[in-house]
Structure 1
Amino acid sequence: MGLTRRDFVKLVVGGVAGVHLTPLPWKLTDDIAIWTQNWPWVPVPPTGAFSYENSVCTLCPGGCGIKVRKVDDRAVKIEGRTDYPINPGGICPVGMGGLQLLYDEDLRFTGPMKRVGLRGSGNFVPISWDEAFQILATRIRKLRLKGQPEQVAAIDGHRQGSTLSLLISRLMRAIGSPNYIRCPSVEDTYWMVNAIMQGNEGPMAFDLENADFVLSFGCGLLEGWGSPGRILNAWGMWHGHNAKRRTKVVQIESRASNTASKSDQWVAVKPGTEAALALGLAHVIIKEGLYNKEFVESYTFGFEDWTSSDGKRHTGFKTLVLQKYTPSRVAKITGASEAQIEKLAKEFARAKSPIAIFGKGKGLLNGSLYEFMAIHSLNGLVGNIDMPGGVLVYDPLPLKDLPDFEPDPIAESGLKRPRLDQARTKTYPFTQSLINNFTQAIVQAPASPVDTLLVFGANPAFTLPDGGLFYRALKKIPFIVSFSPFRDETALMADLILPDHTYLEKMEEICWPTGLQYPFYGLSRPVVEPLYETRNLGDIVVQLAKSLEEPVASVFPWNNYEEVLKARAEGLFQAGGGMVTYDPQSPPWEQLKKGQKPTPKYKSLEDMWEALKANGMWYKPTHAFRNWAKIFRTPTGKFEFYSTQIQLAVDELSRLKQSPAEVLKALGVKATGDEVYMPHQENFEDGDIKKHYPLVMVPFEMINLSDSWVPSPPFLSKTWFDNQLRKDESFAEIHPKTAAQYGIKEGDRIVIESPSAKAKVRVTLFEGAMPGYVFLPRGFGHVAYDEFLKNKGVNPNHL
């Protein structure tokens, strides 16, 4: 819940000075024609008939609408749709370059493959789909017959609650393995905050378009957070209004990112101290009496000191904040000034519709629970919960559940065995999945407890910030299967490849983009025929289940993935009120604010399904504000500053196995007493490690560099600055004062060292980097893919 040891790095200065580099405001691409003239896969179509196909981009969970221009059957251009509610015309650089993910054979697999060389060598030979299913199904059946179904494990990178995610977890349950592991995401922490503070299992829904003060704690609004097209559109709205209506944007971040630089105000704080700043702002708001007294007194629990039913007196949030988070103390912790803290708190509390948002960078990784709770407590203080311009509360999307089934005796026996990651147990009651625990269990065991690992829509060997630990785990697992369409780092370690289509070749769904303030379901469709012998991942999972024969096969009664999607979409039809077309003159955020209830333009499930396939959208821009009984489903029925659910979990663990102090130590919580159950700043105790690793490394993200499981299209390499990547060397950003301390100059080559690894980089001096820290871009450092990504720069996740 705080900084880890891996965050500390040691700088060893190299002896070779580099050429001075001048930072540019933007990298021009006017030489692309010359630069690309020898690329055989650049789409240069013959003369033919032009046409357009509408679809949805699924390269990230943002769900932006796209329009694909075609010449005959070849796609030649991707642009944003103006007839789509998420991103009216906008699209991010990765989405614009998506054609190269379709056509570049050096990035993708062209059909089923099996390994013939050493692991990691990338040596595969083509096989048929029948052979691929036979190899995998035979292995899984043998494990089931041996009574060891739990030795099959799956890692899933798809959105929780999506149909693909449900199919994969269903397959694992039918096999009999509890080891269904999800890749980390900010959505996991959003879910925990929602559940703990509000008792709700729906998504975090930020009504940004109707806010007049946006306080962003590290969200990379201009780096790809949420839906990039939506945020770019909202940014234009915020800054396009006149002075009276203009939305103020304040960015809390340790580095002058694009978001920080273009915000109305940038408050630089030390990484990992965001919770302290939020509570410092809360201190001022409470002390000055600026909080929403009606909301706090009527609809919150744990604000004031209170007495429990056993007569014990408890400290409330108000007392905690006033005693421990004074502006002077918070200034020392965070690096922000007292004057900044006081002024910012008053501006936020006095705004008409202020909103505090959280989730660092693009939101690809989960965050600190206590930090997110501290920030969300600001929304509770000003009473902007389920109000226009605030944090709206919904139930999950009304998609129809898949039919339940009874596992067979073999599966039932396997499912009773403990999960390797210990998630969803009494040890970690609020977590859905803990991939780091899963990795540790494999690495620390004498022999791998996993025989067969299935990897879906993920590249954990590259994306996990674990110092390369997952790589070590992969080497121990006897058999690995990748379902990725891409030749990524994890796939290169696989024994068998069953490749998915790329996103332009298949039907796929988007379930409620991150942070969106109204229920939304997007559906992409194929815009070109599949180029190679790949298949839709949903069809692969259905077929794999059937290849396992009975009793697993009967758990998957569908013939293909589209049948499953249509069956679930029936829930949308039954919910009523959803729209399948978009009117730019009446955007959904305005309909929400005005309380409008548009009339759906379909009469039957079949009508809705055909419109959904054609237009790619179902959304419901209506909301019943301030329905408190529905909103707050905590044990107290209120917004909880003091979490009764965390208290119940700790008490239960203490009764079962250990003292409360031992339980908290095992969970990594350093707080004591009532503070454990409230938002607070968890401090990192570095001991003597700082003597050897005096600086802190902080990764940062860029909108024109993919750091997810999807590779960056090669065209984007011409948009990277020469002081981010030059030839094969990536650059670390260091403040001039820090550089002077270590005798470092612009362009110098240095070695960054952590307890996990070392990496050679070059230095660029940057006034926007906080002194005492080293900033590295996340997304470089691949050891897979093509010549434009492989061995280019350093992956900070491995440090």
Structure 2
Amino acid sequence: MKVLQTLMTRRRFLKGSAVAGASGAAAGGLGGLTGLAPVAEAQAQSPRGETKITKNICAQCPARCGIDVYTTNGRVHAIYGDTGNPIANGKLCPKGHLGTYFLYDPDRFKGPMKRTNPRKGRNEDPGFVPISWDEALDTIAGRLNRLREAGESHRFAHFYGRGWGASDAGLYGDFGRLYGTPNSAIGHASMCAEGSKRAKQATDGNNSYNAYDYRNVNYILNFGASFLEAFRPYNYLMQMWGHMRSKSPQTRITTVDVRMNPTMAASDRALYIKPATDGAMALAIAHVILTEGLWEREFVGDFVDPEMRFRTGQTIPAGSFAEKWVHGLTEWWNEELKDRTPEWAESVTSISARDIVRTAREFGTTRPAIAIMERGPTAHTNGTYAGMAIHALNALVGSLWAEGGMFYQMGPSYGGLPVNAADYMDDWARNGAWKSQPRIDKAGTAEWPMSGTMMQEAGPNHLKGDPYKLDTAMFFYTNPIWSAPNPQVWEEALKDVFVIDTSPFPGETAMYADIVVPDHTYLERLQDSPTYPFEGWPMAALRVPAVDPVYDTKHFGDTLIEIGKRIKGPMGEYYKAIDSVENVLRHRAKGFETDPGDNGVNSFESWKEKGVWYKKRYLWQQRRGEFYEWDGRGYNVRMSPDEVKAKLIKTPTGKFEFKSGFLEKHADYIERTLGVPAARAGLVQWVEARHTGQGDLYFVSPKTPLHAEGRGGNIPHAIANQQPIVGGRKTVYLEIHPDTARARGIRNGDKVRIKSNLGSIEAYCRYMPAHRPDTLVLPMEHGHWAQGRWAKGRLPGHSGDITENVSDPISGLACYYTGKVTVERA
């Protein structure tokens, strides 16, 4: 008691009693204390100002989640998922809240600029000086006009990465046709996920990504799709994972990959596969499904003689199997599948035959089931064939266009543009010599006949002058000097090209720019975005500017339109009639007047108010081997085979093709590039991959959940949480199996050197015992020499610097995962 009396002085007592007394008085004077000093009257905080909520679309990944952007006193301070957007459902992924970092990034370009240093290179200061928008646009248009007048308009190219909709990349086609260039535009799909699209084109005739009915699926066989890291649409998939794993019956999930990741860790079965051998496993699963009679007969068909069976190593007679919605099954079995046993696949994939059989039986007996894939299996020289083998499993179990299955995305009910480009074509646009010129990337030529785009080839082709030299190139949402494989070639290639960069940020390609015309960030744009493949039914969201532009920037679509207005002749008149991005979107929204959305959106203004238009009804369904169309009340209109071919299965036969007519048209090319005999080129089959490099370890560079559309390297919060499994706050670690490291004298945390034929990069390593011992994992994020103060000069070195520029001959997809390297202590 004396101790307390010593500590509590009279001053402290009175001070504490004053507070207590005030509290007692507020409570009605309980306690009867009197004579205590009153507390000053509480003051309310001054009003912060009116808070405004605008509808927008997140741009941190391709998912296109709707967001509510909170702005007070003209400043964005919060971003949440839009409850009225069917992808977001009021939720966001970890990187969705980082939009303010994009908007208020101190390294953003502040306005249009021109280069004053004629030399270009990593260590060259561009010497950018500010210019007016009129000077920038006049300079660009003047250069394009001179090229056109000289008959060299084909030497101008547009390059783009993430195209969002009618108000940006959607403007490219008319620009190219009116100006006269085959290079408007060259997209980045060949450096993204083109392999899965081409595999589907070869088998079911749709050059697209799938949409999925995750709500009703009961089994997912996942080949390399980072469902809980970077598969699209990521935010929605996390929501669906919770639904699938809690519904009854619970969705069972088997994941096949080369490394441990969040998806694998959360799956029911994790199978570690040797890189580039996914196709072999898929063929073995198909073998089991057929030999054990597990296929969906109502979709696939059946033997004419019910006593017949598929037996390992034995052929079946021609005409003995009556195919329904598939083509070439007999040939597929006889010429390829009869010998692709689980035991054979074990010798190729390193996955035990027992696990392959168990997976096949589960997949073949659980309905509905789907097999999904992404870049892991397809980013190899055998990628299209691997994708075809995986997709063939969906046909065998009848999951195409079925409840709980997979299908393709419908587009929105957009109205037309205010004018028709065909009415503004002059003689050069109609019949100019540019029409005989190939694209600079040679997509669609004899060199890459089945590829729709080959951006990674454009830089090297220019450098060689084959098929010609570019004069001028404009870049939107892409940074090939960093993102292309072997980007060092692009550094050399763009030294003699007049480069126009539109990024808001100082990326590597921007450092080579002669003119910078910076785009708004996504929180400042008015921009449409039809959904990526989602649930199939049509949807189009809208970005509404949350604030006026922070700096002197311009929407890329308006920049393109303003350049178009300055081109001589009818083209200029066309763009004057187009007028602006807002005018484009107002005309597109006219389509909603006659086809209102389920949420009441029927005009441009209501689209802005609600941020999204959608119609929650997919128009087609396959049920028990028959196809039906929606009639307004149900799937009641039975479709004819011709209707199915025209609208759904768009192959030459109108059926799912185990022997692809698309590939057969290019059989000689396939034989020349892949060594597949021309007579077998169309079959879904095993083709061994050709690995680059002379190393002894496979090298993969996946994306992490916080990879923010190439911008995560300059966002401090993203950097700090980029790789939570192995820790780290300043770098991205090379993940290496402990046995692999110890055999090379490498300790956990050591600085290491990774080598390929192209050179070497350095990184710090972390032991990861859950990976394959023969595979190194380095997430693609750091290694920038530009981009901003947080990104520049940060280890590890860039994975692309040691990735050779090799592509799948069929899809044209860059083989990012097919390199082999060595590793040693640095």
Give the letter for the 2:110 counterpart: T
Distance apart, 1:515 and its partner CA: 4.4
> SS at 1:761's partner residue?
strand
Give the equivalent residue in structure 2 for 1:552: 571
Give the equivalent residue in structure 1 for 2:64: 63
2:196–2:375 contact (8 Å) kept in structure 1: no
Name which one, 1 or 2, has greater alpha-carbon Rg.
Answer: 2
1:212–1:354 contact (8 Å) kept in structure 2: yes
Give the equivalent residue in structure 1 for 2:427: 409
Quote the Cα distance in structure 1 between the aligned partners of 2:514 and 2:655: 51
Distance apart, 1:565 and its partner CA: 2.2
Quote the Cα distance in structure 2 between the aligned partners of 1:677 and 1:426: 18
Alignment match of 1:646 (pick from 657, 663, 684): 663
Summarize the Cα distance change of 1:361–1:226 in structure 2 as closer, same or farther, 3 Å threshold.
farther
Quote the Cα distance in structure 1 between the aligned partners of 2:259 and 2:655: 37
Q: Cα deviation per residue 1:224-249 (whole Å; 9 max; x = unaligned)?
A: 211122111101111223xx421112
Give the letter for the 1:433 counterpart: T
Quote the Cα distance in structure 2 between the aligned partners of 1:194 and 1:400: 29
Give the equivalent residue in structure 2 for 1:18: none
Give the equivalent residue in structure 1 for 2:547: 528
Alignment match of 1:469 (pick from 489, 498, 503): 489
Give the equivalent residue in structure 1 for 2:148: 144
Quote the Cα distance in structure 2 between the aligned partners of 1:532 and 1:245: 53
Q: Structure 2 matches for 1:345-356, cutoff 5 A?
A: 345-356=360-371
> SS at 2:733's partner residue?
strand
> Would you say 1:434 and 2:454 are equivalent positions?
yes
Give the equivalent residue in structure 2 for 1:375: 390
Give the equivalent residue in structure 1 for 2:78: 77
Summarize the Cα distance change of 1:422–1:389 in structure 2 as closer, same or farther, 3 Å threshold.
same
Give the letter for the 1:252 counterpart: V
Quote the Cα distance in structure 2 between the aligned partners of 1:362 and 1:525: 38
> Would you say 1:182 and 2:187 are equivalent positions?
yes
Quote the Cα distance in structure 1 between the aligned partners of 2:545 and 2:379: 26
Give the equivalent residue in structure 2 for 1:671: 676
2:712–2:719 contact (8 Å) kept in structure 1: no
CA RMSD of aligned residues (A): 2.9
- Which stretch shifts more, 555-564 or 320-329? 320-329
Distance apart, 1:721 and its partner CA: 4.6
> SS at 1:328's partner residue?
helix
Quote the Cα distance in structure 1 between the aligned partners of 2:177 and 2:259: 44
Give the equivalent residue in structure 2 for 1:105: 106
Give the equivalent residue in structure 2 for 1:503: 522
Quote the Cα distance in structure 2 between the aligned partners of 1:700 and 1:318: 35
Give the equivalent residue in structure 2 for 1:195: 201
Quote the Cα distance in structure 1 between the aligned partners of 2:209 and 2:731: 40
TM-score by length of 2: 0.80
Q: Cα deviation per residue 1:30-56 (whole Å; 9 max; x = unaligned)?
A: xxxxxxxxxxxxxxx994343432322
> Would you say 1:316 and 2:331 are equivalent positions?
yes
Quote the Cα distance in structure 1 between the aligned partners of 2:739 and 2:682: 40
Summarize the Cα distance change of 1:363–1:693 in structure 2 as closer, same or farther, 3 Å threshold.
closer
Give the equivalent residue in structure 2 for 1:271: 275
Q: Structure 2 matches for 1:675-754, cutoff 5 A?
A: 675-685=680-690, 692-706=694-708, 708=710, 712-721=714-723, 730-754=732-756
> SS at 2:542's partner residue?
strand
Q: Structure 2 matches for 1:275-674, cutoff 5 A?
A: 275-297=279-301, 316-360=331-375, 368-393=383-408, 396-400=411-415, 403-405=420-422, 407-411=425-429, 412-425=432-445, 427-445=447-465, 449-475=469-495, 477-556=496-575, 557-574=577-594, 576=595, 578-579=597-598, 581=599, 601=600, 607-623=602-618, 624-626=620-622, 627=627, 628-629=644-645, 630-650=647-667, 660=668, 663-666=669-672, 668-674=673-679
Give the equivalent residue in structure 2 for 1:169: 173
**Identical residues among aligned pairs (%):** 29
Give the equivalent residue in structure 1 for 2:234: 228
Quote the Cα distance in structure 2 between the aligned partners of 1:645 and 1:717: 44
Give the equivalent residue in structure 2 for 1:798: 801
1:733–1:763 contact (8 Å) kept in structure 2: yes
Summarize the Cα distance change of 1:645–1:450 in structure 2 as closer, same or farther, 3 Å threshold.
same
> SS at 2:621's partner residue?
coil
> SS at 1:294's partner residue?
helix
Summarize the Cα distance change of 1:168–1:566 in structure 2 as closer, same or farther, 3 Å threshold.
same
Alignment match of 2:259 (pick from 252, 255, 260): 255
> SS at 2:762's partner residue?
strand
Give the equivalent residue in structure 2 for 1:766: 768
1:260–1:266 contact (8 Å) kept in structure 2: yes
TM-score by length of 1: 0.82
Give the equivalent residue in structure 1 for 2:13: none
Give the equivalent residue in structure 1 for 2:34: none
Between the two proteins, the alignment pairs up a number of residues equal to 703
Summarize the Cα distance change of 1:314–1:336 in structure 2 as closer, same or farther, 3 Å threshold.
closer
> SS at 2:597's partner residue?
coil
Quote the Cα distance in structure 1 between the aligned partners of 2:740 and 2:88: 41
Distance apart, 1:390 and its partner CA: 0.5
Quote the Cα distance in structure 1 between the aligned partners of 2:400 and 2:466: 50
Quote the Cα distance in structure 1 between the aligned partners of 2:666 and 2:193: 22
Distance apart, 1:612 and its partner CA: 1.5
> SS at 2:189's partner residue?
coil
Quote the Cα distance in structure 1 between the aligned partners of 2:580 and 2:724: 47
> Would you say 1:156 and 2:157 are equivalent positions?
no
1:251–1:263 contact (8 Å) kept in structure 2: yes
2:719–2:731 contact (8 Å) kept in structure 1: no
1:206–1:516 contact (8 Å) kept in structure 2: yes
Give the letter for the 2:548 counterpart: E
Summarize the Cα distance change of 1:447–1:115 in structure 2 as closer, same or farther, 3 Å threshold.
farther
1:467–1:757 contact (8 Å) kept in structure 2: no
> Would you say 1:216 and 2:222 are equivalent positions?
yes
> SS at 1:133's partner residue?
helix
1:226–1:362 contact (8 Å) kept in structure 2: no
1:751–1:761 contact (8 Å) kept in structure 2: yes
> SS at 1:173's partner residue?
helix
Give the equivalent residue in structure 2 for 1:246: 250
Quote the Cα distance in structure 1 between the aligned partners of 2:410 and 2:529: 17
Structure ranking higher on relative contact order (CA contacts 8 Å, 6+ apart): 1
2:485–2:800 contact (8 Å) kept in structure 1: yes
- Which stretch shifts more, 314-323 or 789-798? 314-323
Give the letter for the 1:174 counterpart: L
Summarize the Cα distance change of 1:304–1:618 in structure 2 as closer, same or farther, 3 Å threshold.
farther
> SS at 2:470's partner residue?
coil
- Which stretch shifts more, 766-775 or 187-196? 187-196
1:203–1:396 contact (8 Å) kept in structure 2: no
Give the equivalent residue in structure 1 for 2:4: none
Give the letter for the 1:413 counterpart: A
Distance apart, 1:707 and its partner CA: 5.4
1:62–1:514 contact (8 Å) kept in structure 2: no
Q: Cα deviation per residue 1:181-230 (whole Å; 9 max; x = unaligned)?
A: 11125564444334332234565212122211112111111112111221
> SS at 1:578's partner residue?
coil
1:55–1:615 contact (8 Å) kept in structure 2: no
> SS at 1:785's partner residue?
coil
Summarize the Cα distance change of 1:169–1:363 in structure 2 as closer, same or farther, 3 Å threshold.
farther
Quote the Cα distance in structure 2 between the aligned partners of 1:404 and 1:324: 55
Distance apart, 1:322 and its partner CA: 3.0
